[in-house]
Amino acid sequence: MAPDLDYNSIEAFHQKLANSRRILAVCGAGLSAASGLPTFRGAGGLWRNYRATDLATPEAFDRDPGLVWLFYGYRRHMALNAAPNPGHDALAALARTNSNFMCLSQNVDNLHLRANHPRYQLRLLHGSLFDIKCTNTNCTHLERNNTADPFFPAIAAASQDQSPSEPGIIPLLDPSHPLPPITRDDIPRCPACREGLQRPGVVWFGEQLDAAMMADVNNWISREPVDIVLVIGTSSIVYPAAGIAERARTKGTTSVVTVNLEAETPDLLDEMSPGDFYFAGDATELLPRLLEPVIGRI
């Protein structure tokens, strides 16, 4: 279906925003990319010649927990040294301004929270790099907001910044540099059960999202019609997050508003419904402009 002629008009979107009460956002890795965090997708998305999807699984952790912890130790270090960008700030300001706004984020870097996004208006669909849980399925231990860098001594290499003598080279990221040997005994055991290994509190491929959280999200969506769904920095290919925008759509009233760096290809535009918007560009620049009538100038 062909989009409306003003599908990328900021003025037309502002008219829709002025008459909107309930707003939902679904955020992906593209939002945090402007803060310097790699997305691990597409060209150049490898880590030491590994795809993220090869490391972000329970099977990978069971096979080589040291390697997986080095990968997540690096991601924790990068996130701790990153700062929220104006896109995060704009969403946090919208939450503080509109109690009927809910943000669902697939990002695990905690930048939403560091932008002072109200916690009760934020759901971290894939968990957090700074939550630590236990591999023992019979143990419910969960430690939140652990920002130790490194988390344990054996992965100290993951917290190294580039060398002043070798600018641009970080040994951990160079596959020609051998990794430090890390045994299972080097990885901290769960302080609660003393049996399982401690692991990142993120949702890995093959694992289910938190059932209680998803029930809460579905209840919020079904409570009343949603006027606007912002889809930010994501290609909407990872389920179940990919289906949330359509689940929230109320026929004839909901505008799905995509904000993404991807070009406005014919295929993308053909998938739009009347009243939808597509803004191709950097969310850090676009979100403050799109939301300015509500949040003021950032």
What are the beta bridge partners of residue 50? 47
Peptide bond into 293 cis (omega under 30): no
Token pair of 144 as six digits: 């939140």
Residue at token pair 């669902």: 104
Q: List residues forming the annotated binding site for Zn(2+).
A: 134, 139, 190, 193
Q: Which of 77, 88, 117, 126 is catalytic?
A: 126
Is there a contact between 39 and 33 (Cβ–Cβ < 8 Å)? yes
Residue at token pair 């959280």: 213
Residue at token pair 């309930």: 22
Residue 126 among the catalytic residues: yes
- What are the catalytic residues? 126
